[in-house]
Structure 1
Amino acid sequence: MILARGMIEGITAALGANGLILRGGFVFSDNDDAAHGASGVPAKSVLLVGQAGAAPWPHFLRWRERQPQQIANPLDSWSRQVIGDVAAAFGARAVSPSDKPYLPFQQWAMRAEGLKPSPLGILMHPQYGLWHAYRGALLFEDEIALPQQGEMIHLCDACVAKPCLKSCPVDAYSREGFAYQACLAHVRGANGGPCRSGGCLDRNACPYGTEYRYPPDVQAFHMASFALAAG
């Protein structure tokens, strides 16, 4: 069975009511080790759910005001609730990037939208730059007819200056990878104020998709979550 176009439009509208968007999808091949759908049989299709810019932020804040002050991982909890409600309404299983055992969300995202990682590891989008995210996915036990995804332009290939590798005061990102402990120590330390209040300096140095850049309060929230979750 191929899911009707009207269902995709319904899902899009339901997600859009909370500032979320569909981020592409695909049909699993016979060679894929597909996660199970709502009834427990292997899924045939997946739709990625995420955001462009900070569109979900006001919806999240309104939800947050009604929750206990000490709720753990509030943005993850909100995403699970919103995407879970949509999944229940359309016969899908909702999954999250933080589910354990971890699902291959980045591989799914690259396959769904044809994106490639930036030097920071974040997938580079030709419109949104680095200012986007994946909040979950919908797994269906039916095939979904989706337009064929064309090859995306990878902006990092044309970026010679690579300012994203030159702005961090502790060189947390390099061609060798991410210096996790150095980043964490700096963010928590006396000189980490600019990162704590305005977000990652390397990420903010990227010249692409700046109209989608998260506002400082959103970046501060994510940086605080990183510092706290790191233990």
Structure 2
Amino acid sequence: MMGNFQVFDPALLDGAGLNRQAVFDLDALPTDIAAAVAASCTPGRSYRQLILIGHAGRKLWQSVTAAGIASDDPIDDFTVRTVRQWFAGSLAQHAYDILYPGTQAIGLQRLGQLAGWHHASPFMVGIDSEWGSWYAYRALVVADTRFEPTRPVRGVHPCATCQHRVCVTSCPAGALSGEQFDLAKCVAYRKREGSQCRATCLARISCPVGSSHRYCDAQIRHTYVGSMRAIERYY
């Protein structure tokens, strides 16, 4: 313990590629988020903190691939396994629940904004000045830990100073050309025979911010093939 806080040791998470973490005290969260979290927890358990875990860059996919997980959601399965290993180590005395991955409706992007990770982009994926859009939310955990709450990242919104808006002109669906993202145009184009965006997003990969961290082709394909399945199911 350091003062009244436990030492937060992210080494296992970082090594697995889950290299973004933010800790929130439950009693300091906005009321609506706190209520959603409380409704999602195991009844009868008492928790103090919410831990948001994400990945940025390519390391997580490398770890998932090396683990050889054969499932419909290998990233989710690897993430859950890693979080459980983390708690089974030096945190074994603590109670916790994994709320995400799961079915609970808790706004991950909202939490990302509180952590300072998330800025809105024209192509509807969060973006920040270091990693660009090449990061994602991977786990949300409630626990009775006493970590020091994380200070928000103070990054500049990279889209605010972008003059070329290459993502807008690179979208073959024209979904970014108006004042708001046009989901209908995006979906219609992705479903079209011969679409260039069935297994990628040309607007996203054209963005120069954080381009050195861009996912490998296999991870991009995994991401967008999954979203294409959802489009074909619901639209």
Alignment TM class, shorter chain as reference: 0.7 to 0.9
- 1:114, CA displacement in angstroms? 5.3
Moved over 4 A (4+): 36-40
Deviates more, 1:117-126 or 1:72-81: 72-81
CA 1:43 to 1:166, structure 2 compared with 1: closer, same or farther past 3 Å?
farther
State the alpha-carbon separation in 2 of the partners of residues 135 and 151 from structure 1. Answer: 21
Tell me the number of residue pairs that the alignment of Structure 1 and Structure 2 aligns.
220
- 1:79, CA displacement in angstroms? 2.2
1:163 and 2:166 matched: yes
TM-score by length of 1: 0.81
Alignment of 1:46-125 (within 5 A): 46-63=50-67, 65-67=68-70, 71-89=71-89, 90=91, 91=94, 92-96=96-100, 98-113=101-116, 115-125=118-128
8 Å CA contact retained: 1:53, 1:212: yes
- 1:154, CA displacement in angstroms? 1.0
Which one-letter code corresponds to 1:210 in the other structure? S
Q: Deviations over 1:104-156 (max 9, x none)?
A: 21111110225321222222211001111111122222442135335321111
- 1:169, CA displacement in angstroms? 0.8
- 1:204, CA displacement in angstroms? 1.1
8 Å CA contact retained: 2:175, 2:181: yes
- Percentage identity across paired residues of the two chains: 22
1:212 and 2:210 matched: no
Q: Deviations over 1:25-46 (max 9, x none)?
A: 2223364326246774453222
State the alpha-carbon separation in 1 of the partners of residues 153 and 187 from structure 2. Answer: 38
8 Å CA contact retained: 1:28, 1:34: no
- 1:23, CA displacement in angstroms? 2.8
State the alpha-carbon separation in 1 of the partners of residues 20 and 5 from structure 2. Answer: 15
| 3-state secondary structure, aligned to 2:197 | helix
CA RMSD across the alignment: 2.6
TM-score by length of 2: 0.80
- 1:174, CA displacement in angstroms? 4.4
- 1:58, CA displacement in angstroms? 1.9
Structure 1: state its 5+ residue gaps.
Answer: none
